[in-house]
Amino acid sequence: MKLLITGASGLLGISLALEALRAHEVICLDRGKLKSAPFQVIKADLLRRNAIDSIFSQVHPDWLINCAALANLETCEEYPDHARILNAEIPGELAQACAKRGVRFAHISTDAVFDGEKTDPYTEEDQPNPLGVYAQTKLAGEGAVQEADAKAIVARVNFYGWSLSGKRSLGEFFVSSLSAGKYVNGFTDVVFCPTFVNHTARALLAMLEKDLSGLYHVLGGQAMSKYQFGVEIARRFGLRESLISPKSVLSSSLTARRSHNLWLSAHKLSTDLGHAIPEFSTGLDEFYTQYQQGYPQKIRGYQQA
């Protein structure tokens, strides 16, 4: 299949492109950050007028996975109009273009659409209640996609892995900080289901291959605090877990509101894919193996100076 990926220079975008290359023709949209990548890159800006029609006329994809977003929570609070365009309006336009042309579409959303007040795992049937601008605009994007394309996949995710900049995931933060001997905070009152990004990418491709549609939680099966996540990283990499201080997110300088409990069930996904979600330890092992094999340095070579 010919797969078109938007947001290709992001953490998920680059990982997805490299995973998909094993079995598919991959074409990525980028605003100029990528160079010398092992897949075709088209320089394009989705914010430009008629950009979407022009891209489809040029590429003619079978599948499209939209990884483009404004994902920094603090930036979204500062620039809500920009967040609304990137996170809500453009996904709807992409979905409409896909529905018109018979292209299978998968859109990346976030676990943060929930307020975190529930004590049991959230399912796809639970009513979202986003707290901040990022989550609010991502939820609006879900609605725009579902309204425009009933066959689209909407995937709520939370992942970690190696990025072009080396600064895009919580996993990278703990590895780089602890390796440098820096003291860091780990939030004990923020619970999530961290997923190794390559597992996220493989799940998305499998969902398209099985012709799934609708809303899915594409996350890990193990919920943990961000403090516990940091400790697990430290132990796997042989770093000093004593450098991680258990703290409350309420004591931080972060301004955007964050949900305290983002424990989401992936039962629907595992059922429809026909296999269990990979264990957290499996993903952490692969994250560590990539580090040993120089993968972070390799992908940074794809970045424009």
pLDDT tens-place string over residues 6-44: 998 899 999 999 999 999 999 999 887 788 889 899 988
Range with the poorest average pLDDT among 160-169, 223-232, 261-270, 274-283: 160-169
Average pLDDT of 233-262? 88
For 20, other C-beta atoms within 10 Å of its C-beta total 23
Digit-coded pLDDT (tens) for 259-300:
889 999 999 999 999 999 999 999 999 999 999 999 999 998
Determine the pLDDT at residue 293.
Answer: 96
Band of the pLDDT at 128, cuts 50, 70, 90?
very high
**Percentage of residues of the chain with pLDDT beyond 70:** 99
Examine the pLDDT at 73 and tell me if it is beyond 80.
yes
Average pLDDT of 72-80? 92
Tokens 């424009």 identify what position? 304
In eight-state DSSP terms, residue 279 is: P
Tell the burial category of 176 from Cβ atoms under 10 Å away from its Cβ (0-12, 13-18, 19+): middle
Domain ranges of the chain: 2-300
CB 94 within 8 A of CB 142: no
- For helices 226-237 and 280-292, angle between their N-to-C axes, nearest 10 degrees: 50
Determine the pLDDT at residue 304.
Answer: 67
Average pLDDT of 104-119? 95
CB 132 within 8 A of CB 236: no
Which residues have CB under 8 Å from 209's CB, separation 6+? none
Average pLDDT of 129-137? 95
Q: Rounded to an integer, what distance in angstroms lies between the CA atom of residue 3 and that of residue 304?
A: 23
Span 2-300: which CATH code? 3.40.50.720
CB 202 within 8 A of CB 175: no
Strands 25-30 and 195-196: unpaired
Average pLDDT of 218-236? 96
Examine the pLDDT at 176 and tell me if it is beyond 80.
yes
Examine the pLDDT at 147 and tell me if it is beyond 90.
yes
For 98, other C-beta atoms within 10 Å of its C-beta total 26
**What distances in angstroms separate CA 48 from CA 10, 53, 90, 97, one per listed residue?**
20, 11, 11, 15
Q: Rounded to an integer, what distance in angstroms lies between the CA atom of residue 101 and that of residue 3?
A: 14
CB 250 within 8 A of CB 179: no
Strands 224-225 and 191-192: antiparallel
Determine the pLDDT at residue 159.
Answer: 96
Examine the pLDDT at 305 and tell me if it is beyond 70.
no
Phi-psi region of 210 (alpha: psi -120 to 50; beta: other; left: phi over 0): alpha
CB 111 within 8 A of CB 73: no
Determine the pLDDT at residue 50.
Answer: 84
